[in-house]
Amino acid sequence: MTADVKSYWQNYIDGKFVDGGAGRIAVDDPGTGERLAEHACADAGDIDRAVTAAKRCHQNGSLFDMRPVERGRMVKKMGDYLLANIDEIAPILTLESGKTLWEARKEVEGAARYFEYYGNQAETLEGRSIPLGAGYFDFTTYEPYGVSAQIIPWNFPLEMTARGISVALTTGNACVIKTPELDPLSNYFFAKAGEYAGFPDGAINILCGEGAVAGAALSAHPDVNQIVFTGSVPTGIAIASAVAKNVVPCVLELGGKSAAIVHADADLDNFISNVRWGIYFNAGQVCSAMSRAIVHESIHDEVVERVVGLAKSMSVGPGIERTEAGPNMGAMVSEKQRDRAAAMCGEAERVGAVTATGGRKMNQPGYFLEPTVLTNVTPDMAVANEEVFGPVLSVLKFTSDDEAVSIANGTPYGLVGGVFTKDIDRATHAAKRFRAGQVFVNEWFAGGVETPFGGYGKSGYGREKGREALLNYVQTKNIAIKLR
Ligand code: NAD
């Protein structure tokens, strides 16, 4: 399978494709390590033009004044466009990000699903009437903030953009997207999808640029009214600090160190297949990955043996050659991310963890890390507390239920948690005690676009997905009328 990838991609501002004030960014194929294409690189001036276009679009009412059913139909059409062009989009996403082709197809479908779900919600956002006695008529309305800025990470560049702009457009906000430097190409299709759906100029602006330049300029821009960020904790803090100066609300989704508790009565066949998805999907570069398994001591050795067998069965190599879902995995997104994950494995070994399998860079071109299982991990180790963001499962042991929950809750993060057991009471008790925004019982990643997602603690604040997300993009206005 090959894909024809054009050599240069532009930014999209105010309905036009344009070059970047900061020149070009090189985009490499993580599956080979070779140059794939170049993308326009935005500077602060480009960001300013995009925000100005979005502000104009908001203020002229071309988006906001539309009847919601119309906006909803347009949002759904964006999803239709992605699905109609999946054969073109998925290989480009694979080549720029390193993920397998089947994962890229899944991501395009996942992105389209956001437009379907939120397009359908457009007509459901209603205010209420508040009784104030005979002399008044009072009601509330929801209004968009205006300019929604979104800063996108590289692990799911399509789905993360879709997650934000589907809601922003549904609720009548104009968007400025800052795409990730490592894999910005496939975001081009949102510009095309917006044109196909008939959105007015300025409603969707898509720019790639350096985080410290374009990202920082966007977060500090005085005409941005709301901001959504997914990525690392330090960058989240920088963005939240910048927007605080303009008194602008933000939604932060900052990753996690999520744990599955595996009880002695768990269905182990089911658990092992959940490990495959939980930590090896997208080469482990998933904010809600199952990066820790906290296993009851009585089944620990059997679980380790089976998880090691799973890791060893994975075929790892260029994503473009991996077309079918199965025990296979692509590259990590960059040499830097791969080397960082490998270094964390080495450090874990140095402080007493045992590499049951994997842990090393693979001796071939591209940025591959062996599917890894670390045992003898203890809660005090860095690898048990910090995001590896790679295909690395840390296995810890527990004796009592209380101990398991306390280990699970023992990191600064709190994105998701999982519990595997046949005992529904035990599962419910654990679910209530997890310090996490989402809890999975007997199926990692259970849920979907319909279910709210977001973190406790350093995993961030605000919720994406579900109906909760709509409320991040609107502000409430109360109108009280004094009757004569
Ligand atoms: P990052 O958080 O620095 O980058 C994410 C996005 O933020 C990119 O678009 C980047 O350009 C932008 N950005 C960077 N600095 C900025 C600034 N000062 N102002 C505004 N925007 C800025 O992440 P990274 O450096 O690419 O990856 C580092 C680690 O972050 C990973 O190892 C992983 O642990 C974590 N991460 C988490 C997620 C997630 O989904 N939670 C996604 C990507 C990375």
Closest atom, ligand 1, to C-alpha of 253 = 41
Closest atom, ligand 1, to C-alpha of 160 = 40
Res. 4 pLDDT band, cuts 50 70 90: confident
Average pLDDT over residues 74-103: 98
Q: Is 216 in the pocket of ligand 1 (CB under 6 A)?
A: yes
Closest atom, ligand 1, to C-alpha of 233 = 2
Buried residues in 280-307 as b, exposed as e (16+ CB within 10 A): bbbbbbbbbbbbbbbbbeebbeebbebb
DSSP string, 155-167: SSHHHHHHHHHHH
Q: What is the pLDDT of residues 266-306, one digit of tens each?
A: 999 999 999 999 999 999 999 999 999 999 999 999 999 99
Give the C-alpha separation, 160 to 166, whole Å. Answer: 10
Give the C-alpha separation, 233 to 409, whole Å. Answer: 18
Q: Is 232 in the pocket of ligand 1 (CB under 6 A)?
A: yes
Residue 3 pLDDT more than 80?
Answer: no
Q: Is 153 in the pocket of ligand 1 (CB under 6 A)?
A: yes
- Average pLDDT for the chain: 97
Alpha helices in 314-361 (DSSP H): 335-350
Closest atom, ligand 1, to C-alpha of 182 = 26
CATH 3.40.309.10, domain 258-446, yes or no? yes
Q: Which of 97, 232, 336, 389 to mutate to test the pocket of ligand 1 (most atoms within 8 A of CB)?
A: 232
Average pLDDT over residues 27-34: 98
Residue 38 pLDDT more than 80?
Answer: yes
What pLDDT is recorded for position 2? 54
Res. 40 pLDDT band, cuts 50 70 90: very high
Q: Is 291 in the pocket of ligand 1 (CB under 6 A)?
A: no
Active site residue 253: yes
Same CATH fold, 258-446 and 8-253+460-479?
Answer: no
Give the C-alpha separation, 65 to 71, whole Å. Answer: 10
Decide which of 3.40.605.10, 3.40.1280.10, 3.50.50.60, 3.20.20.70 is the CATH code for 8-253+460-479. 3.40.605.10
Where exactly are the structural domains of the chain? 8-253+460-479, 258-446
Expressed in angstroms and rounded, the spacing between residue 190 Cα and the centre of ligand 1 is: 21
What pLDDT is recorded for position 265? 98
Average pLDDT over residues 142-148: 98
Active site residue 347: no
Q: Is 177 in the pocket of ligand 1 (CB under 6 A)?
A: no
